[in-house]
Amino acid sequence: MKIVLQAGHENIKNNCDTALRGSTGAGGEVEINIAVRNTTAELLEKAGVNVKKVDANFNCEKTSADEDYDLFLAIHCDMDYPDDKGSGFCDFPEPSTDGATERSQYLAKTIQDYFFPAVGINIKSRSNANTRYFYMWKHLSLKTPCVLIEMGQVKDAHDSVILKDTEKVSKALANAILQALGLQDEKDLKIEKLQKELDEMRESRNDWRTRYKQLEKEYEKEVQELRIHRDLLQKDLSEANARIEVLEKAIMTNKTPLSAYSIKERFQSIVHSLLNGGDFNA
Ligand SMILES: [Zn+2]
């Protein structure tokens, strides 16, 4: 499997075709095209794809059409349509000029359908003469399927933020290419799906954890309040017990005038005065 990735506008000022030299792209575009081409190539090579990285001047190489590639992809992001909230699309050569049009169309659609949702950029086809009759198409072999991707709008407020994250964009593009080439098998797709489910479950678990902690805190507060209340009741109870004890003691030691002890004392005092010849009533 061998493909070509072309960074749009790279070195175009030196193109052998002087008519192309002015096609320098939108401000900031070429840097993104180059970064995405390089990182995407790296990722694809790790997945076992042979990648030829070329600049905008591949049309000047006499051998450009000598080899049949599995895909030639031109990378761009220079459209600018104000107030459309950003968008991109994939295009393929005008079918009557393309010896591999079926394959070109299939690859364009598969890459488009995977890439744009993955990065979060809208799909809106702006197919035009520049994409359908792109200058590179006639410099490639008839059997080489060709796709041009407008990844988004570098001047658009929404798209530019995404496009500047070239790591994310490259990952999406590499996966889109792998899927289009049939190299991302079902096992990988399943792993990806499971990973997503796992992430969602983790998120849900974290939500529950937070809720649980909240409830635990509320419960602890309630327990604390009940403890204080219980301590107050215990204090009341022991105070009441102490009062009962005092009252019981008072009852036990209470001396009324008619208690056994005072009668005996009175009697002894009367006997004592009688014995001493005193007045009984004294
Ligand atoms: Zn461009």
Separation of CA 172 and ligand 1 centre (Å): 19
pLDDT of residue 188: 73
- Please check the confidence at residue 237 and state whether its pLDDT lies above 70: yes
Q: What mean pLDDT do residues 182-186 have?
A: 79
Assessment of whether the complete model's pTM goes beyond 0.75: no
Closest CA to 85 of 127, 111, 123, 36: 123
**Percent of the chain at pLDDT above 70?**
94
Separation of CA 78 and ligand 1 centre (Å): 5
Separation of CA 238 and ligand 1 centre (Å): 89
Separation of CA 177 and ligand 1 centre (Å): 19
* φ, ψ of residue 100 in degrees (nearest 5): -130, 35
Q: Write down the residue that tokens 């489910």 correspond to.
A: 197
pLDDT, mean over the chain = 91
Tokens matching residue 138: 């006639």
Separation of CA 82 and ligand 1 centre (Å): 17
- Please check the confidence at residue 126 and state whether its pLDDT lies above 80: yes
Q: What mean pLDDT do residues 146-174 have?
A: 96
Separation of CA 77 and ligand 1 centre (Å): 5
Are residues 112 and 123 in contact, defined by beta-carbon separation less than 8 angstroms?
A: yes
Separation of CA 73 and ligand 1 centre (Å): 12
Are residues 176 and 133 in contact, defined by beta-carbon separation less than 8 angstroms?
A: no
Give CA separation, 279 vs 152, 259, 276, 282, in Å: 134, 25, 9, 5
Confidence of residue 32 (pLDDT cuts 50, 70, 90): very high
| Continuous segment of H or E residues that includes residue 150 | strand 146-150
Separation of CA 150 and ligand 1 centre (Å): 7
**What DSSP state is assigned to residue 78?**
B
- Please check the confidence at residue 256 and state whether its pLDDT lies above 70: no
Separation of CA 25 and ligand 1 centre (Å): 5
CB-based burial of residue 229 (10 Å sphere; 0-12 exposed, 13-18 middle, 19+ buried)?
Answer: exposed
User: Measured between alpha carbons, how far is 230 from 241 in angstroms, rounded to an integer?
Assistant: 16
Separation of CA 171 and ligand 1 centre (Å): 20
Separation of CA 54 and ligand 1 centre (Å): 14
pLDDT of residue 282: 44
Separation of CA 50 and ligand 1 centre (Å): 24
Confidence of residue 267 (pLDDT cuts 50, 70, 90): confident
Separation of CA 2 and ligand 1 centre (Å): 23
Separation of CA 45 and ligand 1 centre (Å): 24
**Percent of the chain at pLDDT above 90?**
75
What domains appear along the chain, each with residue ranges and CATH number?
Answer: 2-185 (3.40.630.40), 237-282 (no CATH)
From 72-76, 116-120, 207-211, 259-263, the region with the lowest mean pLDDT: 259-263
- Please check the confidence at residue 183 and state whether its pLDDT lies above 50: yes
Q: pLDDT for 155-165, tens place per residue? A: 999 999 999 99
pLDDT of residue 81: 80
Separation of CA 179 and ligand 1 centre (Å): 24
- Please check the confidence at residue 99 and state whether its pLDDT lies above 60: yes
Separation of CA 203 and ligand 1 centre (Å): 40
- Which residues lie closer than 8 Å to 166 by C-beta, 6 or more apart? 32, 35, 36, 39
Which of the two residues, 73 and 245, has the higher pLDDT score?
73
